Structure 1
Amino acid sequence: MDNPERLRILHLMDMTSDIVIVGGGLNGPALALALTATGHSVTVIDALPVKTRKNAAFDGRSYALALASQRLLQAIGVWEAVEDHAQPMLEIKVTDGHAGAGPSPFFMHFDHAELEEGPMGYMVEDRHLRRAFMNAMAADPMITQINGKSVVAQQALQAGVSVTLDDGAEVTGKLLVGCDGRKSGTATRAGIKRTGWDYGQTALVCAIEHELPHNGVAHQFFMPHGPLAILPLTGNRSSIVWSEKTDMAHRINAMEPDDYVQVLRPRFGDFLGQIKLAGDRFTYPLNLTVANSFVGDRVVLVGDAAHGMHPIAGQGLNAGLRDVAALAEVLTLAGRRGEDLASQLVLERYQQWRRFDTATLALATDTFNRLFSNDNPLLRLGRDIGMGIVGSLPGLKRGFVREAAGLTGDLPKLMQGRAI
């Protein structure tokens, strides 16, 4: 008679799906759609119920999508659903200074006209992006969605991986993908440790309505306690990502709406006229956290589960979508060669592709934050002169524009707008 372990391995040959994804936020659905386009069946598990995730109310959360990320969304069939709600970013202005004192005379100005391909990127509200992903998954017969259920256990075996849900149900597949954020349970259960540190900063996130048009210009204003990003949304609205020391951030967020705006006003300035809040307010603790490995035994990590970094360059989601594009390409090509999708040989190709890029980005955001989030007069002088030099050299400026658009490095096919 076969022993229980052998029976379990044989049972796993009849998989629920080829790929099991934990996390149905943004990266998880993007990966699912990219994989089904090349013939893989996918199960997506998310702890939140559908109603919560598809809420149509504007809550103030938005994302800066680089041009390369927009190409990926177009390639997997999602962009058309959000295009009418997307605000092109035509210019980026970077300045340094103090709240209420105005910016330094040294600054950097990047214009999309320096790109042949189009805008550097787009601002899209969270509500539109999530609904587009969920509708696309619902319409895809190769995707099974499990909503409102949490994963409590996972086990890698010779022939596949088994995931146990909080209701006792079991989901099986060849490979488990963790898209479940910086505190990834998938990574923890796989024994993958993390390296990182806290910045002692918290991001205040909201949206505002303003009197004057923004003309598609994004602003990054560096102040001693942390940067303020003003990112254009459709209409006379902008998304705000505002970093402060953690104690101060919590005090500000607890204020009444009018008082909150009064604190924001000297930091924001008056260049867009009168301002008022639009939607809810959020706070997010800022830290750097990178998984010591992006892969484990039949497990792979994507997005914040692999790498969480400071939002100073707005690259969090874009880095995650690069993971999505790279992993989809690696798995698809491996499948066409008849390889085991979850073999260490295959998964290491993904890790080698993405680990250096994400480590470099994490180091860059960490360095920028430490360089700019202080009031040291020597550092201020050095960074202001540096911004002035970059702003005066067209070749260097064009390199920064292409970097902001996500067009540099070893781009996966989906981020070039090409099918795998």
Structure 2
Amino acid sequence: MSGTSEATKAANELSDTGRLDVLVAGAGYVGLASAVALKHARPGLRVAVVDAAPADVWRKDSRASAIAAAASRMLEQLDIWRRVEPHAQAITEMIITDSRTGDPVRPVFLTFDGEIAPGEPFAHMIANRDLNRALRDRAAELGVDIIQGVGVQGFDTDGGGVTVQLADGASLRARLLVAADGVRSKLRDMAGIKTVRWDYGQSGIVCTVAHERPHNGRAVEHFFPAGPFAILPLKGNRSSLVWAERTEEAERLINGDEMIFEAELERRFGLELGEIRVEDKPRAWPLGLTLSRSFVAARVALAGDAAHGIHPIAGQGLNLGLKDVAALAEVIVEADRLGQDIGALDVLERYQQWRRFDTVQMGVTTDILTRLFSNDAAPVRAARDFGLGLVERLPRLKNFFIRQAAGLAGPTPRLLKGEPL
């Protein structure tokens, strides 16, 4: 039996059992975490996830992600963190430099200690496939149905719920549809939600490297004229790279000779960790800013990249999405306990009010940082280096930025504080 026919059978069986409470479109981290958070807090809710990607595509994801302390607290509360912690690498230190690739010395302008509290790092690095596996295992334990290989073809809303048509012809009925289908969200377009977006003319090159010497949990972000180059520690003598480069140059490097790529990589990586070796085929994604003008519509809530796509310069993309999960779950669970309609627009507006300002603020911040640091003009470099040095010399200001990076600044949903819903 093919993967598609299996998905069709699963969708039909689910449809036959009656109406769902929540249908999540998208089986990435945000979609799976949304389903787990809701089912964990309210076992009586009927929650399912549908995703257009083939069943095992997540196993082929060689990338890694930074998980902020607040997100770790949420994952611990949802009984997921114990499953990923053995594979996670704590970031014990973060250093920032500002230089050109040809500079013989890269002076350190800013250093962050890696803890927000004794024994609690402000972030961990975790392989994407390990996090996805843990989320899927927990979803299965809670009884969340995951239908893989069939996407959403369309949906119709009415006063009682939303009817979702799947690409294989099956249909599902739910009180709420959560769109977690990525930055190019089809569901967002179907809901008639407009976006503000622009392209930075950069692409993010991602790969994993092995190196001769241990990193000791240190993360490094070099600001080069073409964009930031981040070295993020993984378990063992390995690191994940996020390398922002001008799009035409990124395409040349990705599609060209491997020796040229490795030579350009070594120029940026430096010699501190000894010889390096690329472990997987480098891949590149266009970088831009996408902000949805609304996070909700009738019976629909956007979450994660479907609501906002930002530059990786601050490493907050995934953590913004998990903050959406925590806020949306808290709003829905409270509404359900009060006997309210969890898909009603006035309920969803509470979620939007909670998350939209914070997201726009982060989008604007990363946009300013991207334009400020992807710039080699001497006056601009002098101004930004002065600013980095000022933060380095002011402990209170540095602590503020550490808490921002840890996801603990501003109004924080209960899950991100490690509290149950």
* Pairwise same-fold verdict (TM > 0.5): yes
The Cα of 1:52 is off from its aligned counterpart by 2.2
Give the partner amino acid of 1:175.
L
Q: Secondary structure at the match of 2:322?
A: helix
The Cα of 1:117 is off from its aligned counterpart by 5.9
Partner of 1:129: 131
Partner of 2:230: 229
Superposed, 1:15-414 pairs within 5 Å as 15-39=18-42, 40-55=45-60, 59-102=61-104, 104-105=106-107, 107-113=109-115, 115-116=117-118, 118-141=120-143, 143-414=144-415
TM-score under structure 2 length normalisation: 0.93
Q: Percent identity?
A: 45
Partner of 2:4: none
Q: Contact (CA 8 Å) 2:300, 2:343: kept in 1 or not?
A: yes
Give the partner amino acid of 1:160.
G
Name the CA shift for 1:173/1:15 in 2 (closer, same or farther; >3 Å): farther
Distance 1:380 1:202 in 2: 22
Q: Secondary structure at the match of 1:37?
A: helix
Name the CA shift for 1:120/1:275 in 2 (closer, same or farther; >3 Å): same
Q: Contact (CA 8 Å) 1:60, 1:281: kept in 2 or not?
A: no
Distance 1:409 1:23 in 2: 28
Name the CA shift for 1:287/1:253 in 2 (closer, same or farther; >3 Å): same
Deviations 1:14-39 (A, max 9, x none): 84310010000110000000000122
The Cα of 1:125 is off from its aligned counterpart by 0.4
Give the partner amino acid of 2:298.
D
Give the partner amino acid of 1:48.
A
Distance 1:76 1:114 in 2: 21
The Cα of 1:105 is off from its aligned counterpart by 3.3
Q: Contact (CA 8 Å) 2:97, 2:109: kept in 1 or not?
A: yes
Q: Secondary structure at the match of 1:18?
A: strand
Name the CA shift for 1:309/1:396 in 2 (closer, same or farther; >3 Å): same
Query: For the aligned residues, what is the CA RMSD?
Result: 1.5
Deviations 1:210-231 (A, max 9, x none): 0111010111110111100100
Q: Which 4+ runs in 1 deviate beyond 6 A?
A: none
Distance 2:120 2:367 in 1: 29
Q: Contact (CA 8 Å) 1:229, 1:242: kept in 2 or not?
A: yes
Give the partner amino acid of 2:412.
L
Distance 2:18 2:335 in 1: 18
Distance 1:224 1:172 in 2: 51
Deviations 1:59-80 (A, max 9, x none): 5300000000111111111111
Deviations 1:57-115 (A, max 9, x none): xx530000000011111111111111110000011101100013145535100002463
Deviations 1:282-329 (A, max 9, x none): 111001001110000110000000000000001000000000000000
Q: Contact (CA 8 Å) 1:106, 1:387: kept in 2 or not?
A: no
Name the CA shift for 1:66/1:296 in 2 (closer, same or farther; >3 Å): same
The Cα of 1:372 is off from its aligned counterpart by 0.5
Give the partner amino acid of 1:384.
D
Q: Contact (CA 8 Å) 2:96, 2:108: kept in 1 or not?
A: no
Unaligned runs of 5+ in 1: 1-11
Name the CA shift for 1:102/1:17 in 2 (closer, same or farther; >3 Å): farther
Distance 2:148 2:125 in 1: 27
Q: Secondary structure at the match of 2:41?
A: coil
Distance 2:307 2:317 in 1: 11
The Cα of 1:51 is off from its aligned counterpart by 2.3
Distance 1:105 1:136 in 2: 45
Name the CA shift for 1:74/1:232 in 2 (closer, same or farther; >3 Å): same
Distance 1:181 1:262 in 2: 33
Distance 2:120 2:84 in 1: 17
Distance 2:115 2:125 in 1: 18
Distance 1:235 1:395 in 2: 33
Give the partner amino acid of 1:343.
A
The Cα of 1:404 is off from its aligned counterpart by 1.1
Q: Secondary structure at the match of 1:350?
A: helix
Name the CA shift for 1:114/1:163 in 2 (closer, same or farther; >3 Å): closer
Partner of 1:9: none
Distance 2:97 2:187 in 1: 40
Give the partner amino acid of 1:247.
E
Distance 1:358 1:280 in 2: 32
Q: Contact (CA 8 Å) 1:71, 1:415: kept in 2 or not?
A: yes
Q: Contact (CA 8 Å) 2:40, 2:142: kept in 1 or not?
A: no
Unaligned runs of 5+ in 2: 1-14
Name the CA shift for 1:113/1:74 in 2 (closer, same or farther; >3 Å): closer
Tell which deviates more after alignment, 268-277 or 251-260.
Answer: 251-260
Tell which deviates more after alignment, 39-48 or 99-108.
Answer: 99-108
Q: Contact (CA 8 Å) 2:68, 2:405: kept in 1 or not?
A: yes
Distance 1:137 1:105 in 2: 46
Distance 1:318 1:369 in 2: 18
Distance 1:130 1:22 in 2: 16
Q: Secondary structure at the match of 1:333?
A: helix
Partner of 2:12: none
